Structures are given as C-alpha cells and as structure tokens.
Structure 1
Amino acid sequence: INKDVELETYTFYYDIASNIGYYDNEGKITDAENQLTSGYGQYSPDTKDAEFREHVVLNDIEEKDFRMTTETLLYNTGTHIARIISPTTIVTDSATVYSSNGIYNTDMGFSELFDRSLIVTEGGNTLTGDTIYYDQKAGFGEAFGNMVLTDSVRQTMLEGNYGCYFEKQDSAFATNRARILEYSKGDTLYMHGDTIRSYVLHDDSTHVMTAYPRVRFWRVDIQGLCDSLSFMERDSTLYMHRHPIVWNEARQIFGNVIYVHFNDSTVDWAKLPEFGFTAEHVGEEFYNQLSGKEMLATFVDGNMRRLDVSGNVEVVLLPEESDSTINKIVNSESSFLTADFSAGPMQVERIKMWPDVTGTATPLYLAKKSIFYLSNFQWYEALRPKDKDDIFNIPPEMEALLNEPDPTVRKRRVD
C-alpha cells in the first residue's frame, strides 16, 4: 500500500536500491479511480509509473464507464494517464476505441491516438485517421491525415485530410481533399468539395449535407459540378447553386440553379426553376438543344424519359432519318414544350410544342453555322468528371466558369 494505491499479488518482488516493486504471477493494482490487472507488472512509488504486460485489463471503479484491454500498457497512478504501446481496445459507454499507439486520460476520458486508430460509436459510426483526438465525455472526435468517417444508418462515408465529428449533435466536417461517398443502393456516388459538412437541423431533426466551393460529383449514371450544393434528407433533394451542370449519358443540362430529386438513391427528376438549357451531342459538330425559362426532366431507372419546358422555349433539333442519317436541322420557338425519350438508346420519340409555334426545317447542305446553336449554347465536356478520383481535379475551365458573375444575382438585381 502506497497512500491511495494498493497492489495485490501472489508473489511480490521489491528492489530496494531502485525502489521498484514488481510481480510476474498475476497481480492487481488499485488507485482512487481505476483498477488494473495483468500477468506481469512493475511499479515505482517515486514516479508513480507502472508497466504492465500479459492480459492487461484497466477498469474505471467509480463510474464504470470504460474498460481497456491490451498486452502491454504504461500507466501513471498519479496522473491516471495510460500510454498505449500495443494493440489495445477501449470500451466506453459511448464508443469503442482500437489503437496501437496513443495516450488515454482516464480522468478526462480524452484520447490522443496515432497510427490509423479506429473509433466505433454507440450508433455504429466509425472514425479513422492517422491521428485522432477523441473526447469521450463530449462525444467529439478530431482526425488528421486520411480521415474516414462512416455513417452506417445513412450508408455514407466522409473523407478528408482533416475532419471532426460531433456524436451528440450528429454532425461532421471535412476539408483538405474532402470527399463524401453515398452507397445506400447500387452504384456509389462520389462527391468532392473544398469543405463538406453534415449536420441535423434542430427544428425537425432532418439531416443536411453541404459542400462548397468547387463541387464535383461522379456516379456511373450521373455526373455534375457547381460552386455549392446542399442535400436535404427531408425531401431527398439535392440543391445545386452557382453555375450548376449535370450530365447523364450523352446529355448535358445547365442553368442558374438545379434541383435533383432522388428516390431510393436513384435520380427521379431534375428541375431548373429559373433557366434551363439541355444539349445532346448527336455527332461531329451537331447538338440537339432545348432552352427555356423553366425546365423539368423526369428520369426512369437513371435515364431521362421526359422533358417539360415552359417560357421562351427555343429548339435546335437534328432528327435522324430511318437510315440513322441526319440531313436537316429544325429551329423552332414556342411557349411550352414536352419531349419524350426512348427507354433503350437515348433517342427523342416525340416532341410537342404549343400554343403558337414558329420554326424552320433547313437541309444541312443549305444550313448556315449561325443556326446550329442557340444563343446560350455551351458544351462543357472538358469539365465533366471522368471517374471517382477525377472529382479532385479542378480544370482551369471550371475555375474560369465559377469566377463568372452568378446569374441568379443578376436576375435578382433586375427584378
């Protein structure tokens, strides 16, 4: 017994010269806060440093809110700080920690963890990083270097070279090569932004994800970019702001703002409420084009099947003949338009325009280049993300686009 520290063992050895006691046939050491058992242990009353090996178990004897198991552990009975130097598991009332290198303050419930440690929260979320600072009582984790935060309920994974997680608030933050993966069904959606946040609104507990600036995302069936976006779990809608562009197959849609709705993680519709422009590359320098004040695209199984356009509708269409050749170009204007697309190869099946329609059909050999493109036509293929890793590459053309004035701001000023 040394003040508030008590050591019990079958055989005890005491080195008077160095003032160190040790045992090698199981022992138990108890202080005011914790109790530790091991096959071998040594203790210095002068420094209060202890070293334990073989089936080491450290428990909190007061609140009983943590249990540490390992094969080798360094512990100070004065500071109640444990030094992790071998594979260790810490089980608390809110999380389980796996680490081979770190420090755990048993008084504060605070950890400094290194070498790709892992934290599994009570709700099943996990936090991994090269270095992690974890506050058990506050439910806060901060990670540096290759952070990975998984959300088992929402089936998402947040990555970044720096990030943090607030368990009680169910919120997270990532930056420096930040990326979020959504893998709830089918193909995974990969999204990058300089900063990505995930949080829950206090008023109705709905989940929100935001990314900004320089946002790029990729999935097999849909790709896109914009300067900022947010996803609202309440309505399953992705809101894209400032120069948004979305690609699907050979089609491209852009506008002032774009809303994309998901049904079971599959795109179900996309709306452009202020201005919309869609283009489809049909070969060489030819593009089918539609433009209008408001646009609604409806998708089935990830493919666009219907397009509704209203207000100042303009059309450039290059219809295929029965032998798949193109020999004329159609230019037309109206107030409203509906287009239906085939379920297989993406082809226009039917177009309806009303009420007053004007237009011309010109043979290609007589057509001038000036009628090939609508006034707002832009083809942004050079900006299109190619795969899940290409989302980190910001082309100079994208930087230039995002530096242009926000068209929604111009519109509000005019209004």
Structure 2
Amino acid sequence: MIFLKRLLIAMLGLLASTIVYAQAPIKDTSRHGKMITIISADRENFQQIDSLTQVLSLAGKAKVQQEKTIFEADSIALNQLTNILEAFGNVHINDNDSIHTYSQYLKYVGKEKKAYLNKKVKLTDGKGVLTTEELVYDEQTKIGIYYKGGKVVNGKTVLTSTEGYYYGETKDVYFKQNVFLKDSGFTVKTDTLLYNTKTGITTIVAPSTIVSGKQTIKTKDGYYDTKSKKAFFNQRPIIDDSAYTFIADKIAVDDKTGLSEYDGNAVYRTKDSTGYDLIAGNIKANRKTNALLATQKPLLLIKQPQDTTYITADTLFTSKLSELVKSRTVPVVRDSVKGKIPMTKNPKDSSADRYFEAYFNVRIFNDSLQAVCDSMFYSGEDSVFRLFKNPIAWAQKNQITGDTMYLFVQNKKPERLYVFENAMSIQKLTDKYFNQIKGTTINGFFLDGKIDHLRAKGNAETVYYGVDESNKYLGVNKASCDVIDMYFEQKKYGASPQKIVLRNNLEGTAYPMRQINHEELRLRKFKWLENLRPKSKFDIFSN
C-alpha cells in the first residue's frame, strides 16, 4: 500500500508537470526569434515527439500571438521548440491592425516571421484587396509574394497578373507577367506594372497598351492616377483614336477636364486622306471642344491626294466651327451665301465643321499658290482663307499684295483670290521689266489651280509690256481706267499674259522701250518681295 501511494503521487506529479509544461511557453531564444504565445482555444493537446519536435495542438477558435501579430484559425499546430506553426481552416493573420490576411491553410516560421498561405488567400490593407491561391508573406518586411496568379481590387480598379509583389509599408503592388488592369472607362495590358493601393496611382515601367473607349495608348513609361484621372507618359507614347493618331515625346492627360498636352516633336494626324495634320514642339488639346493649340514652330498640313497645303506661324489654333459661332459671328464671304455661316447638314463631316487660326509670321505653301501674312483664318464650311495685315500671295510668276486677302478654295485647289484696299499685282518679266496692275480691289481667278485671269477695279492703273509673236518687246504702256482685265495662257515655264483689256475712262501713254526710265515707270508702292516667298515646303520655316 505504501508503494502504491508513492507511485500514485509520482504519477500525479508527472502529469501536473506535463500540463504546466504544455501550457507554459518556452522562454525566448534568439535562435528562434520571439516566441509564439497561446491566447486561447477550445481544446488543447500536447505531444513530445522527439527532442526537436514538441507539438501543441489547439482546436476550436484557436488564437496565438507573436509580438503584435495575432493568428487565428479553426485549428493550430505549434512546435514550440522550432517556433513554427501550421493553421487549418478560416485562417486570419492580424498584423498590428494594419494588414489582414486570410486563407484556409498557413505555415508560419516564427524565426523568420514568414507566412506561407494556401487556398483562398486574401490580403487587405484597408484600401485594396489581394486574392490568390498561394502567397508568401513576410511579417518583418511587410512583403507578400504570389507566383501562380493573383488579383487586386481597389474600389473600381481591378488588377490581375501571374506574379505579384505586395509592399505593405508603401502600399505598392508590383505586378509581373500577363498584367491586366481594368478601371472605370479604361484597361491596361502589359508585362510589368506598379500600383499603389493608397494613392491609386498606376506606374508604367514596361511597354503597355491602354484602351479607353475608341482610344488606344501605347507607352512604356509614365503613370495614371485612377483617383484624379490624370496621366503622364514619357518616351514618345502614341495615342490612336478612330479618327486620329497623336505622338509626342511627353503626353499629359486630364480625363476629368478633357484637357491634354503634347510636348516635344508632337504630331497629330487625322486618318482621313483629305483631313489635316498638325506638327509642333508643343500642342495643347481640349477633347470636349476638339480644339488644338500649337506653338513652338507649328506646321499645319491640309491634306489631299495631290498638292497638300502647308501652313506655319508662331501659333496655330483649330476647333469646331459650331463652337465658335456660339460666341461670335463668323462673316460669310462666299457670294452665294448670306448672313451667318450655316452649319454643315451632316454633323459627321468634321472637315466642314472646323476652322483654323494662325497668328504672326504666317507662311503658306502649296504647288499652286504661296502666301505670307500676319494672321490667318480658314473656315472648312466655306473653304476660304482670310489673310490679314500686309498679306502677299504668289501664283507662278505673279505677286499680289493688298491690305486683306480672301483665298477661295475648291476641292482644296485655289479657285479665286480676292484682294481689297491697295491691291496690286506684279509679274516679273526680267530684272528690270515688270507688268503691274493696281486697283482698290483685285480678283484673281484660277482654272485647275492655275492663274487664269485678273480683274482690277477702282482707280485701276497698269504698266504693261507688249510683245510680238517672238516674245520681243514692242513697247510699254502706262494707263488708268475703271476696270482692267488681264488674261493668261499656260506655258511650260508658267502662266504668261496673253492680253490686257482696259475698260471705261481710259487714259494712257505708250512708250518705246529705249525712251523711258523703266524704274520711274513703276506704280506707286511698287515692291518686288520675292525674298519673302516660300520656294518649297522645306523652305516654309525660313524667315
């Protein structure tokens, strides 16, 4: 009996020490990091498998803690010797109330503070939600990594990729391989992308394709702010729309206001072969009004299959004519139209519902006609160029000047040139001889884009050199009358005067060629300005 009592006491003592040993955590050791402590569980079980394996099993609302990180699950198996735990079913890691991670399975290495999660993994930082099937999360660095596909949802922004790297300290997610971003109104496809769940900023670091409605943007460097709807792209991005393409060294876009800026070798091209192109160092655009403002050596090309018109100025501007007439009256200059310019009957005809303005040092070139002036206005509705302040136009060998000019265009070829106030036409024959016509107004008429005849009215004057059939000079006539008509014939070297007709109140004198000082014979305000003429499309930027 004494022996049995001693044996029972020893067994009870051993059982008590085992229970105390199972519930009391092992002391911290630097080798295994901060120890994982038990908070609670419905059931507990302890097993001493070997000298390196000591497993404490917790079941039913199991909860443990390492420093400020709390682990919860349906069941937890904790090896207190190695400081490693496995959790099963409805796993939840609360990292200092800042980052929450969920899964159905967890292996956690306490020494490294690294978590390996499987099945229905979800990580959230209060802003975005990351879901995947497998995730490695480092509690020390706050970095989560997945390699087999994952998705991040932040408000209306959804991102998916094959690989992902989440940085909890900065709230950045680094996506790699088959990256796809979808937001309200646009999508992004790329191989590599950086996204911040706090700021909502998407940073592009690899060739990417952005689709927004009918617009596609191709870029390899830049960012898009999903909150402010502002974007900035570097390294010569391309915007491709159903109606145009836009290229520049740098592009800044504000989707909320519809404003955008294109800086550095900016090129705007319409896809219509009869539309227009715009090239400049800087172009600002307004998507809502379809307006473009070009500076830094801008060049406008009004296209057609042949004889494209090139226009340069210090500043070029274009927008919808239907917007302009809301704020001001646009005078009509076609004789067949009265009152305000009527809007095009077909609203889809964008070329008709468009106007162009050019300011300072305006230069115009096409094969049929060249011109310079201080400012210009062109309406697609009536196809008339209005040239203001000291305009000069050249048609083959003819120079025409005046206070204001209207150049009427038909099928984008010169049809008529109307000059009023101090109008003068000069044709160079030799370095000393010039045919001259002057009047209050001059109308020049073109046939198939080439000068056909001129009419001067109002105090008309002329100096005209007559020639015979061999083109030898017969003499020179200086005359004045009410109306002067000059008719041209087309020759290999250009248009040549065929005849001149003087009408009403004629007064004039004919002079032999050798009995007159030809320079004194010139009309008042005579100036031959060939040095200002653009000789080719390559010469259009010359001063």
Judge same fold: TM > 0.5, yes or no.
yes
Residues 1:356 and 2:479 aligned together: no
Between 19-28 and 6-15, the greater mean CA deviation after superposition: 6-15
Contact 1:247/1:253, CA 8 A, preserved across alignment = yes
Q: Which residue of 522, 529, 533 corresponds with 1:384?
A: 533
Q: Which residue of 514, 524, 535 corresponds with 1:365?
A: 514
After superposition, what is the alpha-carbon deviation per residue over 1:362-386, rounded to whole angstroms, capped at 9, x for unaligned? Answer: 2212222355411221100011112
Deviation at 1:305, TM superposition (A): 0.3
Contact 1:198/1:207, CA 8 A, preserved across alignment = yes
> Structure 1 residues 48 and 32 mapped into 2: Cα distance closer, same or farther (>3 Å)?
same
CA distance in 1 between counterparts of 2:230 and 2:538 reads 35
Residues 1:161 and 2:281 aligned together: yes
Residues 1:74 and 2:188 aligned together: no
In structure 1, the partner of 2:140 is 17
CA distance in 2 between counterparts of 1:9 and 1:256 reads 74
In structure 1, the partner of 2:362 is 215
Q: Secondary structure at the match of 2:470?
A: coil
CA distance in 1 between counterparts of 2:210 and 2:256 reads 14
Please tell me the residue identity of whatever aligns with 2:240: V
In structure 2, the partner of 1:287 is 434
In structure 1, the partner of 2:130 is 7
Deviation at 1:336, TM superposition (A): 0.7
Contact 2:368/2:413, CA 8 A, preserved across alignment = no
Please tell me the residue identity of whatever aligns with 1:264: N
Q: Which residue of 112, 128, 146 corresponds with 2:247?
A: 128
Contact 2:433/2:518, CA 8 A, preserved across alignment = no
In structure 2, the partner of 1:273 is 420
CA distance in 2 between counterparts of 1:331 and 1:90 reads 69
Residues 1:393 and 2:542 aligned together: yes
Residues 1:302 and 2:449 aligned together: yes
Residues 1:37 and 2:157 aligned together: no
After superposition, what is the alpha-carbon deviation per residue over 1:270-296, rounded to whole angstroms, capped at 9, x for unaligned? Answer: 001223111111123111111111110
CA distance in 2 between counterparts of 1:337 and 1:287 reads 16
Between 110-119 and 124-133, the greater mean CA deviation after superposition: 124-133
Structure 2 unaligned regions, length at least 5: 1-122, 327-341, 344-352
After superposition, what is the alpha-carbon deviation per residue over 1:29-82, rounded to whole angstroms, capped at 9, x for unaligned? Answer: 22223111112111122221111111110012xxx3110111111111111111
Contact 2:248/2:264, CA 8 A, preserved across alignment = yes
Contact 2:222/2:232, CA 8 A, preserved across alignment = yes
Contact 1:316/1:373, CA 8 A, preserved across alignment = yes
Structure 1 unaligned regions, length at least 5: 395-415
CA distance in 2 between counterparts of 1:120 and 1:157 reads 14
Q: Secondary structure at the match of 1:116?
A: coil
Deviation at 1:244, TM superposition (A): 0.3
Between 123-132 and 260-269, the greater mean CA deviation after superposition: 123-132
Please tell me the residue identity of whatever aligns with 1:309: A
Residues 1:102 and 2:222 aligned together: yes
Please tell me the residue identity of whatever aligns with 2:387: M
CA distance in 1 between counterparts of 2:172 and 2:325 reads 46
Between 82-91 and 360-369, the greater mean CA deviation after superposition: 360-369
In structure 2, the partner of 1:410 is none
Q: Which residue of 454, 477, 485 corresponds with 1:338?
A: 485
In structure 1, the partner of 2:56 is none
Runs of 4+ in 1 over 3 A off after TM superposition: 151-154, 202-206
Q: Secondary structure at the match of 1:293?
A: strand
CA distance in 1 between counterparts of 2:190 and 2:270 reads 27
CA distance in 2 between counterparts of 1:363 and 1:235 reads 47
> Structure 1 residues 13 and 119 mapped into 2: Cα distance closer, same or farther (>3 Å)?
same
Contact 2:200/2:227, CA 8 A, preserved across alignment = yes
CA distance in 2 between counterparts of 1:302 and 1:370 reads 32
> Structure 1 residues 202 and 327 mapped into 2: Cα distance closer, same or farther (>3 Å)?
closer
In structure 2, the partner of 1:249 is 396
Between 253-262 and 324-333, the greater mean CA deviation after superposition: 324-333
Q: Secondary structure at the match of 1:230?
A: strand
Between 140-149 and 370-379, the greater mean CA deviation after superposition: 370-379
Q: Which residue of 309, 315, 320 corresponds with 2:462?
A: 315
Residues 1:235 and 2:354 aligned together: no
Percent of pairs identical after alignment? 28
CA distance in 2 between counterparts of 1:224 and 1:323 reads 33
TM-score (norm 1): 0.89
CA distance in 2 between counterparts of 1:202 and 1:309 reads 33
Q: Secondary structure at the match of 2:452?
A: strand
Contact 1:185/1:265, CA 8 A, preserved across alignment = no
Aligned residue pairs: how many? 390
CA distance in 2 between counterparts of 1:388 and 1:350 reads 32
CA distance in 1 between counterparts of 2:215 and 2:287 reads 10
Q: Secondary structure at the match of 2:248?
A: strand
TM-score (norm 2): 0.69
> Structure 1 residues 370 and 68 mapped into 2: Cα distance closer, same or farther (>3 Å)?
closer
Q: Secondary structure at the match of 2:421?
A: coil
Residues 1:198 and 2:321 aligned together: no
Name the larger-Rg structure: 2
> Structure 1 residues 20 and 155 mapped into 2: Cα distance closer, same or farther (>3 Å)?
same
CA distance in 2 between counterparts of 1:29 and 1:346 reads 72
> Structure 1 residues 165 and 76 mapped into 2: Cα distance closer, same or farther (>3 Å)?
same
In structure 2, the partner of 1:413 is none
Deviation at 1:328, TM superposition (A): 1.5
CA distance in 2 between counterparts of 1:355 and 1:136 reads 65
Contact 1:95/1:136, CA 8 A, preserved across alignment = no
Please tell me the residue identity of whatever aligns with 1:33: K
Q: Secondary structure at the match of 1:283?
A: coil
Please tell me the residue identity of whatever aligns with 1:193: A
Deviation at 1:94, TM superposition (A): 6.0
Q: Secondary structure at the match of 1:278?
A: strand
Deviation at 1:251, TM superposition (A): 0.8
Q: Which residue of 496, 499, 521 corresponds with 1:347?
A: 496
CA distance in 1 between counterparts of 2:426 and 2:127 reads 78
Contact 1:276/1:291, CA 8 A, preserved across alignment = yes
